[in-house]
A and B are shown apart, each in its own frame.
Chain A
Amino acid sequence: MLLDTLKKVLAVYGPTGKEENVADCVKKMLEGKADSFRTDAMGNLIVEKKGWEDGKTIMFSAHMDHIGLVVTDIEDEGYLRVTSVGGVSVAMSKTRHVVFANGVEGVVVCQPTKGETETLAHLFVDIGAEDKADALTKVQLGDVCVYAPDCFMLGEHRIASPAMDDRCAVALLTELLCEIENPKNTIVGVFSTQEEVGLRGATVAAYSVNPDLGVALDVTGWGDTPEVKLPAVKLGKGAAVKFMDRSMVATPCVRDALMAAAEKAGVPYQREVLPYGGTDGAAIQHSRGGVPAGTLSIPCRYVHSACEVIDMRDMESALSILKTFVNMEF
């Protein structure tokens, strides 16, 4: 079940650079359902499901990491100084509940700025420590905290949680690998690392996988709330086939095949032109001598906040598209 899988992967600690727990969780779910598993030097989990002899190799990438705050120093009073790992905004993180790998909890606070623009340097995390020595028994420099897991339904179809970017795609790729039997094309599912700091995991995975074509699975922005109308995608209207973002112009053959797969599967989809952002698709496309690549997106509201909202109907649409896509002729 897509929703169960999603809830499982949303609950796991896994900021950028520390994705091992997510990889373990995915691996457990896929045990016995794939032909091979390997983990590379960057921590990517690479899962292969063999296709027919005349099939092509398709790399799918869904990134396991999500944004967080890394401890850079500890004040004498025991407050943690932090900076962002990935695009954490000061406004969205103020007075947020955060949690570390070892379960230590904290509150992100922004100190008075005396008229300056608020920056990450004004943030500190209060973990209730008495002083620096006490704080050091709980947290070390380099430890990373994330928005505390908090998953809830918003209406009938929608679900809100931190880490929806990109655990919804991790769930999707896991389900695809679980459900698909004897695919025509070989599926290499890359559960990638460090996307949020510049597609670092997918870059090296694309090199080692050396696929014939690639598809990134990621969230995209939303255009259906007051004053936000671009990208022109709406939650609940189907998965979005990316045409372009700041990192990539989707390779036409991949983009068109994704749309053809949606038509064939008889599920709704949307065309996405994103005026910002980037995905692992770019890392695949720019690998070696160039690889045809595209991105299938899940529209997501309030991306990089503690309440990232998606619509399960878009997830179902995406899964149907992918199941058809992997059996197409390339």
Chain B
Amino acid sequence: MDLKTLCEMNGVSGDEKEIRKAIIEQAKPLCDSVKIDRMGNVIAFKKGKKGTSHILFSAHMDEVGFIIMDATEDGLLVFRPVGGIDPRVCVSKYVVIGEKKVKGVIGAMAIHLQSREDMKRVLPFDNLYIDIGAKSKDEALGECPPGTFAYFDSAYETFGDGFVVSKALDDRVGCYNMLRLMEETYDADVTYAFVVQEEVGCRGAAGAGFAADADTVIVLEGTTAGDMGDANPVQSICNAGKGVVVSFMDGASIANNELYRDMMALAEKENIPHQAKRGATGGNDAGAYQRSAAGKKTCVLSVPCRYIHGPSSVMKMSDMENQFALAQAFARQA
């Protein structure tokens, strides 16, 4: 399965079944066991040649998106984000809703109708609607009842010098690399956890962590790259094209000191382009793993993604390859 296929699938937090099914299909012939836990995480285990240590790789299957709440009398869908989405990236975007893949557009009051004040403020989700071309509340809710998930409907494209644009790079890129990692058998036992509900608070990983035997966890993520426009270079966090991002700290976890040092040294030794994450904001599943049960050593390897949590996040393919290379080098020496 290629990255394009993975990215074009839809899976808002809590609704990951399409991706789960595809991952299970691909993982089954490659692993010794593939299980689904109660949260919906896919836990694949591959026995090592020596089995002297046990590491866990994790990536999350879910993406940010929307959920339908209600409809107005004239048939516009009322919705809210699932996961962190800036309302400014939503206006005039195509969405698809539910399994029937109903087409819709996120609308707001046209510029002609906005006051000067309106134009200065960010329209919150209260003022945004999804237009599916329905005539009435009943018709709209008949097609898309409350609780239906909606997704950005944007194409996966390659462009420029090795760049990719897609909606769900965070974190299908991690899922993709994990599926590649499991093609090899390492000395160490490896658990591959494809987890749910990262975007709403690392809920899947919290469960996966409690059940896991491994005491070392490597999280493969997509992370915010701020290397564009007028962003202050010292606040750019990481740069697309400058290699895999290794985090010493973020809002949810502090990397195990030794693991972080080893990872940086390994990248150096293997000549894998890499960068330290230049910031300590954000958070991901490492925080949940680290604090599960009796504790785990964690480290996060990320692919820099610009315009993350929107319909068109952008990454450079070489960074994804470098994430894979470093994760694989780590697995080979574990």
Contacts and interface: CB of A to CB of B under 8 A. Distances in A.
Contacts of B260: 142
B295 A204 contact: yes
Interface stretch (A1-9, A68-76, A213-221): A68-76
A203 interface: yes
Interface in B277-320: 278-281, 290-297
B195 interface: no
Interface string B142-171: 000000000000000000000000000000
Interface string A198-213: 0011011101100000
A16 B248 contact: no
A228 interface: no
A207 B293 CA distance: 6
A23 to B, nearest CB: 12
Secondary structure call for the B interface: loop
B257 interface: yes
A121 B290 CA distance: 28
Contacts, number: 68
B248 A40 contact: no
A313 interface: no
B256 interface: yes
Contact of A41 (B235, B256, B278, B281): B256
A42 B257 contact: no
Interface residues of B, number: 23
Contact of B254 (A16, A40, A121, A141): A16
B278 A141 contact: yes
A17 interface: yes
B234 interface: yes
Nearest to B233: A73
A201 B276 CA distance: 24
Interface in B235-262: 235, 248-249, 253-254, 256-257, 260
Question: Most B CB atoms within 10 A — which of A70, A72, A121?
Answer: A72
A42 B234 contact: no
Interface residues of A, number: 28
B295 A141 contact: no
Interface in A115-158: 121, 140-142
B15 interface: no
Contacts of B8: none
Contact of A200 (B257, B276, B281, B290): B290
Given A41-B295, A73-B279, 14 more contacts: A42-B295, A70-B280, A72-B279, A83-B279, A141-B248, A142-B249, A194-B254, A197-B254, A200-B254, A200-B290, A200-B291, A207-B295, A208-B293, A208-B295
Interface of B: 215, 234-235, 248-249, 253-254, 256-257, 260, 276, 278-281, 290-297
Interface of A: 16-18, 20, 40-42, 44, 70, 72-73, 75, 81, 83, 85, 121, 140-142, 194, 197, 200-201, 203-205, 207-208
24 contacts: A18-B257, A20-B257, A41-B290, A41-B294, A41-B295, A42-B295, A70-B249, A73-B234, A73-B279, A75-B234, A83-B279, A85-B249, A85-B254, A142-B248, A200-B254, A200-B290, A201-B295, A203-B295, A204-B293, A204-B295, A207-B293, A207-B294, A207-B295, A208-B294
